[in-house]
Structure 1
Amino acid sequence: MATTGADILPMHAQSTINKLPLVRRLEAVGFRAWPASSVQYDGSWQIRLTAGHPSKRLNSVVPLDPSDHRDLEIRLAKAQRKFEAYGRPMVVRETPLASPKLIDLLREHGWTCFDETIVMTANLVDLELPDMLDHLPSHDVGRFVDASLVVDQADPALKPALAEVVSGIKPPSGLFVIEDAEAGPLATTLCVQDNDLAGVMSVAVSPQHRRKGLGVEILTSALRWARMRSAKTAWLQVSADNAPALALYVRFGFREAYRYCYWQPPRAA
């Protein structure tokens, strides 16, 4: 099923919609579902750093109060030094909680916006899930990490860092893997239940096994597991330009809650 304009709003339109309480709650559970190794605060800015993993969600400045716009240039310079100490490029993550004055400053200084992402939610209580093979979650972090790296075709050197991130998740989590005896891992997903919210952190299918229903199968298993544990709302994050994933999630009843993007400084000449 294709997405429509009613399903996904342009980022600028969200400024007119009062969704800040929902955004704050989803940001909070998102931080717990994908924990950075170092979290520091400068006012309402959360500075997330993880030396071993390059994920932008684990290495970014995340402003959390639209009214916090004091000493912007001084604070950006301080944050830059922290990122340099970790050997990470500095990025600022813009959600509806970011101060408009901060975003204006970044734009004026030549920063560029990239990687727009849609945060979506679905009502699990009334959701009709497909009747198909159910996969039980694993608690073997090593097995899940190995499978994820294979399915994502990621650098095997990331295994220790990814294992540290997954092991650091405090809320109950289900590690889902679909694999074949000959072909190996085919699909993976991670579902984190935080009270009545369940976060689907990724739905990954091996490139050579896509369009075979594996995404539907593993997402169904994760959502069924979350609902059995009394979660009432599911949430996930997806790249705004990932049309196949968006179509899959809309089929499952997911609708846009808000968007975020990243800002990076201009490269030195």
Structure 2
Amino acid sequence: MEISAAGRLEVRITAADVGKRVSVRRLSGAAPIGDKFTDTVGVLTSWDDGVLVITRKTGESVRVDASSLVAGKVVPAAPARRRGPAASYAELARVAARAWRPLESERLGGWELRAAAGFTRRANSVLPLGDPGMPLDAALDVVRDWYGRRGLPAYVQTATGAEGTEEVLSARLEERGWVREVTAQLWIGALAPVADRAEAGGVVTAREADGAWLARYRRKGVGEAALKVLAGGSPRAGEAGSGDGPSVWFASVPGPDGGAPAAIGRCVVDGRWAGFAAVEVDPARRREGLGTTVMAALARRALAEGASAAWLQVEEENAGARAMYAGMGFVAHHAYHHYREPSAEPSRDSARESSRESSRESSPRSSTGAS
């Protein structure tokens, strides 16, 4: 908290600090001064009519009555990270987007509008890395029209919790009635320890997902849009990555009698980054370490292609998966959220497939959330 030369707490923030990361102390409820305080740290996303809105790194918005403030100051944009590869939010957002390519996309200033016939929110949402080049309400009108012409609900993917993330945009969407449906976290870690976690014997790796792999991924027929997204699409000119663009690897542990594999996984190698997703294990074979074995095999492929860092996405409430990945050396970098336009129902394909993007390993629920 900010303390004056006289030793008293001071409020050193104003409405001019909207968009900056702040730390404030306020009176709790009707407690008298000196009795009970509450501290809040996050991005100051608005200050209107005597009320502050502060968005925490989880995406949660906290309303604070300015009259209750006893101290406040601007703090560094993001805390120093002690573990994990050095990485900016913009770098990771672009790497994650290249790992799950839409079938079509269009630029709106610094925003990318993405669509893939409704297969997953990530491939059917706006990635707002920059300014759309017009006022927000006008940009959202363009977004709604673009997705409406494709028979899809409009989604905007935002992020919170790191330098350069979109706390202010998240707050503006909520003010306009956009509904936050999904929150997950992107975790990062060194790649070599993942490769060393388990022996990779018995794991089959390939450049394409065969019928057996797909049988474990969904246990039903996979549509053309899903196949194209899983395959990685076509590299885009001028994008970073190994060779002509990111490369995709699929891995599986064969099941008995040539049926569905006991475990599968997918990895996208993009320059120094290896992104893991779709790690699924036969429910009858969980807690045998098969998911870790699949990841180790994929990590070795990625290391051979020159990658050194790893990322994955995990649902915020999945404590079991978070503990497992923490044990592998991963740490949370930022949270991301999908906001759906007001009065729009999520498409059935998007809702169904979002649960299938998740990786499954030893925890009873999906290990990574990639909706």
TM-score by length of 1: 0.83
CA displacement at 1:99 relative to structure 2:
4.5
Residues 114 and 123, structure 2, Cα contact 8 Å, conserved in 1: yes
The aligned counterpart of 2:178 is 111
Which residue number corresponds to residue 179 of structure 1? 254
8 A contact 2:194–2:299 mirrored in 1 = no
Q: Could you tell me which runs of 5 or more consecutive residues in structure 2 were left unpaired when the two chains were aligned.
A: 1-55, 61-75, 81-85, 236-245, 346-371
The structure with more radius of gyration:
2
Tell me what 1:74 maps to.
138
Kindly indicate whether residue 208 of structure 2 is the aligned counterpart of residue 124 of structure 1: no
CA spacing shift, 1:126–1:98, aligned 2, 3 Å: closer
8 Å Cα contact 2:153/2:344 also seen in 1: no
Identical columns (%): 26
Question: Residue 188 of structure 1: which of 259, 264, 280 is its match?
Answer: 264
Structure 2: which amino acid aligns with 1:238? Answer: V
1:33-48 → structure 2 map (5 Å cutoff):
33-48=99-114
Q: 1:57 aligns with which of 78, 102, 122?
A: 122
Q: For residues 53-97 of structure 1, what are the alpha-carbon distances to aligned partners after superposition, in whole Å with 9 as ceiling and x for unaligned?
A: 4210100011112x6684111110111011111111111101145
Matches within 5 A, 1:81-92: 81-92=145-156
SS in structure 2 of the partner of residue 110 of structure 1: coil
Cα gap change, 1:125/1:207 in structure 2, threshold over 3 Å: closer, same or farther? closer
| Residues 151, 204 of structure 1: 8 Å contact kept | yes
Following the alignment from structure 1 to structure 2, what is the Cα–Cα distance between the partners of residues 126 and 188? 20
CA contact (8 A) 2:109 2:133 kept: no
Whether 1:264 and 2:340 are equivalent positions in the alignment is yes
Cα 1:207–1:223 change in 2 (3 A) is same
Q: Which runs of 5+ in 1 are unaligned?
A: 1-8
The offset of 1:181, in angstroms, is 2.8
Displacement, 1:188?
1.3
Identify, as 1 or 2, the structure richer in helix.
1
Report the counterpart of residue 95 of structure 2 in structure 1.
29
SS in 2 for 1:266: coil
Q: Is the alpha carbon distance of 1:126 and 1:99 closer, same or farther for their aligned partners in structure 2, counting shifts above 3 Å?
A: closer
TM-score normalised per structure 2: 0.62
Match of 1:226 in 2: 302
Q: Which whole-Å deviations, capped at 9, do the CAs of 1:105-147 have from their partners, x for residues lacking one?
A: 3212222212111111111246672242332411233x1xx34
Contact 1:92 1:262 in 2 (8 A): yes
Alpha carbons of structure 1 residues 80 and 131: separation in structure 2 relative to 1, 3 Å: closer
Match of residue 224 from structure 2: 160
Letter of the aligned partner of 2:175 in structure 1?
A: E
